[in-house]
Structure 1
Amino acid sequence: MAVWCAFGPLWSPWKDDATDALMINKPPGEIHWLGTDFLGRDVYTRLLLAGRISLIIGLLTMLLSVTLGYLLGAVSGYLGGWADKLIMRLADLVMTIPSLPLLIVAGAMLSELDFSPDSRIYMVVIMLSLLEWPKLARLVRGQILSLRERDFMLATRVLGLSARRRLFGHLLPNTIPILVVMATMAVANAILMESALSYLGLGVVPPTPSWGNMMDSANSLIDFQRRPWLWMPPGIAIFITVIAINVLGDGLRDALDPKMKRGAK
């Protein structure tokens, strides 16, 4: 899907913003493989470019939330004390807030401000990242609390290894499997949340295409019933992408987790 979205538009004869008054709401055919929308734009080309935007938002959200959650979780689990209490109370506070209603309110506030379409993409990434990091932070903290009392960590203390070497050389590498799984889940969740926001008109806004605002173009009953090519392609793309990302995460976890390898034997 990522390769298709990245390179597909290069071979498309149509531009994503090219309109044609004579080709409005045309069904799929030889000229327009997935039909055209209410402005006569090629749905296939816009679907690919929308995929770029949605995947970029998912990846940027993953990088930001994983970096923040991983570091805070590691500090919380390793240091303990007041740092642990402060970080965990902050994580608990964020996790008690319903994500979608909060994003809807934040998106509505952004709609009142004069942000460019590109700036809105980065604002969506920041909002999603701030809601996603506590999940990873709590998991990493729990993993480190469990690992630091294991025999191999006690041995590192006896050997006199520095705190930095114990943390980065022995503790954090053992949290990689859970990091990989949570990173893939963060991408999938970000794509779903961005699609929901854009569908409501509060995320990525036209003319910048995303899978969510492409589905919003079929918001009338007539479009839903008679023009399925407007909403089915982005809906199917979201479904396939999210399922593929989750399967990839499970496969990487099985490949990286030593427990899984021992169980397979």
Structure 2
Amino acid sequence: MTAPSSRVAVVTGAARGLGAATALRLAADGMAVAVIDLEESAAKGTADAITEAGGRAIAVGADVADAAAVDAAVERIVAELGPPTVLINNAGITRDNLLFKMSETDWDSVMNVHLRGSFLMTKACQGHMVAAQWGRIVNLSSTSALGNRGQVNYSAAKAGLQGFTKTLAIELGRFGITANCVAPGFIASEMTRATAERLGQDWEEWQAARAKEIPVQRVGVPEDIANMVAFFVGESAGYVSGQVIYVAGGPKV
């Protein structure tokens, strides 16, 4: 079995927010990290933060919905860091609107990044995990998978990732690979700040209002998600697979 210090993790959508926090956490836990985002220049800040702290990381630019780009990215990761055995499918976008206003492009764009992107990245990495007879896959879903007004595309994609995760767990378990899903609730991030701005809401007031609706009486931070991911990819979670954990400050189902 490969030692944690020599494992290579891939985190998509890791230029900022949840992805960046997760990449930094996995690096702190001793893994080499490939930081993937649409533009390599955007991913460089996270990768540099890891290397400056004494870790190993590279920034990789790739559209996760583009099969050729994904294959090229994984080939580069293998060449520069080693075969990846940890994959965090975090890349995502929102194109919110009510159903009758939503364009086909807004539907397709969200599906392509969340579902097609996770499929392509997992397909490209799983062979390396099978060869190692050890692997960890964590997909980022959302409480929106349970339904959320104005997010029919995002909700469908995040619910789809839960079924994707459970099927991966069934198919890949015999090779020492686990697959699990983290479903965040409200997390203070650039994405949620942008949503507040789009709705014309003051960011601090909006956070305070949301916190009152959460049992633990605070909003989440990216590190809350990184901590859950770190558990799923660790040695102690080897008998945990096919699970969806809502990290939302209270029960969601």
Return the TM-score normalized by structure 2. 0.29
Q: Which has the higher strand share?
A: 2
Higher Rg of the two aligned structures:
1
- Larger relative helix fraction: 1
